[in-house]
Structures are given as C-alpha cells and as structure tokens.
Homo-oligomer: A and B are copies of this chain.
Amino acid sequence: MSKSNEVVEALAKIFDADTGIYQQRGFQRRIGFGSRPALVHIDLANAWTRPGHAFSCDEMDVIIPSVQRLNEAGRAKGVPIVYTTTAYTNTEGKNGDTGLWRFKIPVELLHVDDPAVQIDDRIAPVPDDLVIVKKRASGFHGTNLSSHLNAHGVDTVILTGVTMAGCVRHTCEDAIAEGFRPIVVREAVGDRVPGVVEWNLFDIDAKFGDVEPLERVLAYLDEIAPFTSRAEVA
C-alpha cells in the first residue's frame, strides 16, 4: 500500500467517527445549488500549476482537465467566470503590499510582473472573464469579488483551484458568509502536502459548503437556464 493510501485510510477512520457526531448534532447539511452560479477558480496560475516553484501543487493532471470541462459547460450557459491569482507590486520595499503574510509563507516570490503569477494558459481566461489579483488568501478579502457577483445576481459559487488548506478554504468560508452557496468541485481542488485536501474538504462539507463530484456539477450546469444579464436598467 502506498504512503498516500495510508494517509487517506487513517483519515477516513477519523472522518467516520466525526461524521457520526456531526450527523447526530444536525451538522453536515446540504446547501444545494441555486439558479445563478458563477465559476471561481482560485490561484490556478503557473506558480501553483507548474512544477518547480515553492508554490507548486500536485494533481494538475486531474485539476486542469476538470476546470477545462467546467469552463466549457459554464461558457455554454454564459455564467460569469472569475479567476484569482495572488501577486504583489512591491515585494521588497519597506512599504510593500504583502501585508503580514510574508511572515508565514513565501509571498515575496509572487511579483505581479512575473509570468509565474499569470493564469495557466491551458485554462486561459477569455475577455469576458474577470481576473482578480488578490493579496490575501480569500478571493473575497480586499477585492471586488463579492460586489461583482452581487451586481450580476449570482447566488452560487462553484469553487476550484488551490490550495485547499489555504486560499480555497478561506474563499469558501467567505462565500457562505457573504450569502453565496459554495460548491467545491472534488476533482478540481488540490494542494502540495498529503492529507490537507482531505481534511479541509471534510471540514467544509460539514460546515461551509457542499463538496460535489465533477460529474454532478457538470450535469447541473447542463440543466440550468442560460445566465441572463442583470445589467439592464429597469
């Protein structure tokens, strides 16, 4: 048995015990899909999707094709698509814009002019998509994401990307807090160390959003009505 399988099995036992308690207490409910979704892809830029960078993540051979299929299904219905990346204009100076985060993780490696922070061209944005350059973990924090989705009448946020233990989780927590239904696509999220994908998906599904398989999310996107613009004066 591989090491990775051992981790998954050890965690599965813990999740089983926890699920018993959660179910008894009334947690782990289903939030469900709304009718006006947006796709939000977290930090699928080269520093995370390609090997050799401090931020590189695993499982891109599954994540990238999953995002491609979600984008295809979403674009067919005209749903808003948002990408985030994390990048800074001043990673060296004394009045830099990394905030306090550089005291925990190597954000000084993410300069806005570095191709590493550009969205992976296998899932390149089209002009109608929005690319948000965020400074913190959550796609909502210090960005126009919430007001953008709100202005377009979005009620559901379909989340993909990396990392589960960082930016995807914080974005998911903020999404439900802001009033959006978070759906995390199981095959389309990842991280760079063993175990953290599993336990963060477990926590999220218990409390913050629904973790759903790719095929279920694709079926949902196929079923919904085309996304009509709210961008008209009454």
A residues near B, CB below 8 A?
Answer: 3, 7, 10-11, 13-14, 17-18, 21-22, 25-35, 54-55, 78, 80-81, 89-90, 93-97, 99-106, 109, 127-131, 135-138, 141-153, 155, 165-166, 169-170, 173-174, 176-181, 192-196, 199-200, 203, 206-209, 229-231, 233-234
**B89 touching A131 by the CB < 8 A rule?**
yes
**A142 touching B143 by the CB < 8 A rule?**
yes
| Residue among A30, A106, A142 facing the most chain B CB atoms (10 A cut-off) | A142
Q: Residue A30 contacts which of B29, B97, B141, B233 (CB distance < 8 angstroms)? A: B233
Beyond the given pairs A34-B234, A137-B173, 19 more chain A to chain B contacts, judged by CB atoms under 8 angstroms and listed by A's residue number, are A10-B11, A18-B196, A25-B192, A26-B106, A30-B103, A89-B131, A90-B128, A93-B128, A95-B152, A97-B130, A99-B148, A99-B177, A100-B179, A101-B176, A104-B207, A137-B208, A146-B146, A146-B179, A173-B173
What are the residues of chain B within 8 A of A128 when measuring CB–CB?
90, 93-95
Knowing A80-B95, A165-B206, A233-B32 touch, does A17 contact B138 (C-beta < 8 A)?
no
**A104 touching B29 by the CB < 8 A rule?**
yes
What distance in Å separates the Cβ of A95 from its nearest Cβ neighbour in chain B? 4
**A136 touching B127 by the CB < 8 A rule?**
no
**B97 touching A144 by the CB < 8 A rule?**
yes
